[in-house]
Amino acid sequence: MNKIIIILMAAMTVCATATAKSKSPARKLINRLCDLQKRGTLIGHQDALFYGTTWKWEFGRSDINDVCGDYPAVLGCDLGGIEHGNDRNLDGVPFDKMREQIIDFAQKGGIVTISWHADNPANGGNAWNVDAPAVAQSLPGGALHAKMTQWIARTIDFIKSLKDSNGRPIPVIFRPWHEMTGSWFWWGTPHCTAKEYQSLFRMVVRQFRKARIDNVVWSYSPGADAHDTPQRFFNAYPGDRYVDMLGFDIYQYNGPEEFVATCRLDLKIMHDYAQKHRKLYAITETGYRNTPDEKWFTNVLRPAYQGFSPCYVLLWRNAWDQKEENFGPAPEKSCAEDFRLFHKDDATLFLNDIRN
Ligand code: BMA
């Protein structure tokens, strides 16, 4: 086989995923991500445009931009609280401002990913409240099904309202029920069976499809584990018809060696599956709380995915109201200089690299 055919085949294997219809906004985003993936890895930041370590609600600002004069390429947002029809999400971000920022960011060429820390529908506690099992009862026939259907409908209303100035739907990556391999969320592994989890995930996708929403790229993202295996990673996988993008959430808790090794282990699991099943893959959340290692971005994070091609890496949020809840760079942090080097790396893509 000649070289050109091999290159074409490699490009094709990652570029078609099953869930989105051709020409839909979701399909266009999938295709765009496939193309961008060949150029490098998009760098994202959760809540980047809403607040930073020392400021809040100054729209147009971003800690990453304050550090390196460029915005992240991926904006992460969370819908926690929308299920109740609240005005603000669980971290105080007003949903109307979130919508405004998403639209503006997407029109500039930025890519948006959305998570959902939904409350526990069984007892009204938050997403981390595991005192009352809720998954089985949220499924068709269950006592919480009507409530869950309404909750999902509220996420649909928000995502449906994301339209550009020409009225075209803005595509987003949605990753509901994330980190299901852990025990901390009410939808986590010990609180339901894998089958029940799959049904819950599929229920969301089906409800979106029934509402004819075609701007969602679906993401399945377990929590990373140092002893991961494909069996564990895919234990709760809802199936190729319901997922476009694989991902995992990983934080550095111990030494950098463990972080890098776990990252590479899970990247390999995702890469192998993605190649065969034509899926995208990403590092859907990461960071080292408070970034005590001033070279973390170039010495740890970059080597952790070197040689793989995750389409994006999303740093978790820089909370303005919790001193150590920061995972991205900020001007006053000792990792700022290192982040400027990370930004200069040809294989890291920021907003200026992908602008419309
Ligand atoms: C968690 C923490 C919480 C936050 C939640 C949703 O990881 O950052 O403080 O409320 O995400 O953003």
Q: For residue 13, what pLDDT is reported?
A: 44
Does ligand 1 have an atom closer than 6 angstroms to the CB of 78?
yes
Read off the pLDDT band of 320 (50, 70, 90).
very high
Q: For residue 19, what pLDDT is reported?
A: 77
Please, what is the average pLDDT of the chain?
95
Q: Which ligand 1 atom sits nearest the alpha carbon of residue 117?
A: 6
Q: How far apart are CA 345 and CA 107, in angstroms?
A: 25
Q: At 178, list the tokens.
A: 């994330």
Q: How far apart are CA 112 and CA 158, in angstroms?
A: 13
Q: How far apart are CA 115 and CA 282, in angstroms?
A: 14
Distance 80 CA to ligand 1 centre (A): 10
Q: For residue 20, what pLDDT is reported?
A: 77
Q: For residue 5, what pLDDT is reported?
A: 41
Distance 37 CA to ligand 1 centre (A): 28
Does the structure show a pLDDT above 80 at 28?
yes
Longest dimension (CA), the chain: 61
Does ligand 1 have an atom closer than 6 angstroms to the CB of 285?
no
Give how far Cα 237 sits from Cα of 137, 281, 352, Å: 20, 14, 35
**Residues 68 and 343: beta-carbon distance below 8 Å:** yes
Does the structure show a pLDDT above 80 at 95?
yes
> pTM, whole model, 2 decimals?
0.95
Distance 277 CA to ligand 1 centre (A): 32
Q: How far apart are CA 298 and CA 172, in angstroms?
A: 28
**pLDDT tens digits, one per residue of 141-200:** 999 999 999 999 999 999 999 999 999 999 999 999 999 999 999 999 999 999 999 999
Distance 186 CA to ligand 1 centre (A): 15
Q: Which amino acid is at 43?
A: I
Read off the pLDDT band of 11 (50, 70, 90).
very low
Of 8-12, 161-165, 327-331, give the lowest mean pLDDT range: 8-12
Residues in the chain, total: 356
Does ligand 1 have an atom closer than 6 angstroms to the CB of 47?
no
Q: How far apart are CA 307 and CA 131, in angstroms?
A: 42
Q: Which amino acid is at 29?
A: L
Read off the pLDDT band of 15 (50, 70, 90).
low
